[in-house]
Structure formats: structure tokens, C-alpha cells
Amino acid sequence: MSSVDIGLLKKYARTMSVLFLEEDKDSRIELFEHLHDIFPNIAMTRNKFNALENYNEYYYSQQKYYDLIISDMKNSQTNNIQFIEEIYKINSKQSIIIFSTCSDSSYLIALLNLGIESFFLKPIDFTSFLKNIMQICNKIYIRKNKKQNILKINKTLLWNQEEKILTLNDKEIKLTKKEIILLDILIKKKNILFTAEELINILWFDTFTIDVDISNLKNIISRLRKKVPNLNIVNIYGLGYKLNFQSDLELNN
């Protein structure tokens, strides 16, 4: 990539949450201005203790981790490595970028072995930085949007809303076309009760010459229950059908 599409970069970055750690006051102000132009949702902290405190507070208040940590490391002191190790103990998948004046190869290798995304020597070459941050933001953006497409029905059942795939303990369950249509509508209209007639009209909307009755619907639901015993499709007598989801409390226990 010879140049960076700044508009695309900002599209990726605008939904990201970033924690920026810089201990030097002058560098902190200068770098923050550059970073804030890319990341509107960026928090700044001045030392490792405050950064860890901020990191944990953000999780407790938002119920999610920062998407990215950008941290200054002044030299190859052991406590720098320990800081990164502490972050990974909390969240092993955390994306981290390091700025440093230290060019010691053993220090760089140690950081890369811990799993950081990238390492930049100060003074920062912002052309190189922008190219690198574009790749990282793209990866985070794809990962976040992929997660948003995955819906938890219960602790073991997941529904991919984009690809219309049901997985049980990470294994795909083969579904027929009508089973997929039924699940999709029950999931989209979470906790909504559908009459048998409504579901028949949805499942056989393109059928004009074949008589369809409630027995056809019951057969599909029966097959689904056999395939996926913990898929809780509830029949409320005389009213209709709905899909029960586990509550957030149950999912977190």
C-alpha cells in the first residue's frame, strides 16, 4: 500500500476505543493530538499504574475491553514487560502497539513474543505508522463486526445472523432450507409469539398449488427439536410458537 485511505481508516477507527499511555508530558500532548485525529474515542493516561486502573475501570463500566492499547516504553526496564504481561493476564487477546526509544533487539523480541501487534521506534515515522495502524484497525473492525453477527441462543448454541448458520459447541448443525427460515424469523423477532398460520405463510409463501396445514409446521419443528434438543422452541397452546433465549444472567453464570 503506497498511501493510506484516511477516510477508510477513520471509518474503521471511529467505533474503536483506545487507551493511550505516555509518561512524558510533552510527548503525551503531541502524540495525543495526532492519535485523537484518528481515534475520537481515546483515553489518555500518564503511567502504568493509572493505565491498569483505567483498563479495569473501563471493563467494569462498559462490560468490554479497549479495542487497542497504544503505549510508550522508555527503555528496556523489566517493569515494561511486566506491564504488558499484566494486560495479557486480564485479556489474552488485547491488541497492543508499543512506542519506544529503545532499539535493543532482545527487548523487541521479548515484546513480540508476548503478542503485541506492532513496535515503533521514536521519533515516530507517521507514514509507516498510518500504514500499520490501517492494517490493525481493519483487523479489529472485521473481528468486531463478525462478533456482532453472532447471536447467543444459550451457552452452547450460536446463530450466525449473516451466514444463517447454527452451531452447537462450535460444530455446525446441518439445517434444511425451511428450518433455516423458521429459525431466522424466530431469532429476528426475539420473544415474539407467532401463530401457526403466520409461520405457515412465512415458510410456504411461494407455494400456491400445495395444501399446507399445521401438521407440516409441526413436522419441521419436531425435526429441529430432534436435531437440537436444547433449542427451546415453545408451543403455547392455542396461541402459537416462540423461541426462548437464555437470559444474560444465565449466560454469564
Q: Which long-range contacts (CB under 8 A, 24 or more apart) does 172-175 make?
A: 173/227, 173/228, 175/224, 175/227
Question: pLDDT per residue over 116-161, tens digit each?
Answer: 999 998 888 888 899 999 999 998 988 887 766 788 888 889 998 8
How far is residue 238's CA from residue 195's CA, in Å, rounded to a whole number?
9
Q: Give the pLDDT of residue 1.
A: 41
Between strands 157-160 and 150-152, the pairing is antiparallel
* pLDDT, position 170: 77
Looking at residues 28-46, what average pLDDT do you find?
91
Q: How far apart are CA 97 and CA 20, in angstroms?
A: 10
Tell me what the mean pLDDT of segment 87-116 comes to: 87
In this prediction, residue 247 carries a pLDDT of: 57
Q: What does the pLDDT read at residue 207?
A: 67
The amino acid sitting at 64 is K
pTM for the model: 0.60
Checking DSSP bridges between strand 68-73 and strand 118-121, what pairing results, if any? unpaired
Radius of gyration of the chain (CA): 25
- Compute the average pLDDT of residues 101-128: 85
Measured CA to CA, the distance from residue 3 to residue 141 in angstroms comes to: 20
What spatial distance separates the first Cα and last Cα of the chain, rounded to whole Å? 46
- State the pLDDT at residue 75: 62
pLDDT at 106 over 90: no
Confidence of residue 27 (pLDDT cuts 50, 70, 90): confident
Per CATH, the architecture of 151-252 is what? Answer: Orthogonal Bundle (1.10)
Tell me what percent of the residues of the chain surpass a pLDDT of 70.
92
The mean pLDDT value of the chain amounts to 86
Residue-wise pLDDT for 196-246, tens only, equals 999 999 998 876 556 778 899 999 999 999 999 989 999 988 889 999 887
Cis? peptide before 40, omega within 30° of 0: no
Highest-confidence segment of 77-86, 150-159, 243-252:
150-159
Amino acid making up residue 6: I
Query: pLDDT tens across 56-66, in order?
Result: 999 988 888 99
Mean pLDDT to the nearest integer, 162-178: 87
Task: Retrieve residue 137's grid coordinates.
Answer: 484497525
pLDDT exceeds cutoff 60 at 253: no
Between 248 and 200, name the one with better pLDDT.
200
CATH topology of domain 6-148: Rossmann fold (3.40.50)
**Where are the domains positioned within the chain?**
6-148, 151-252
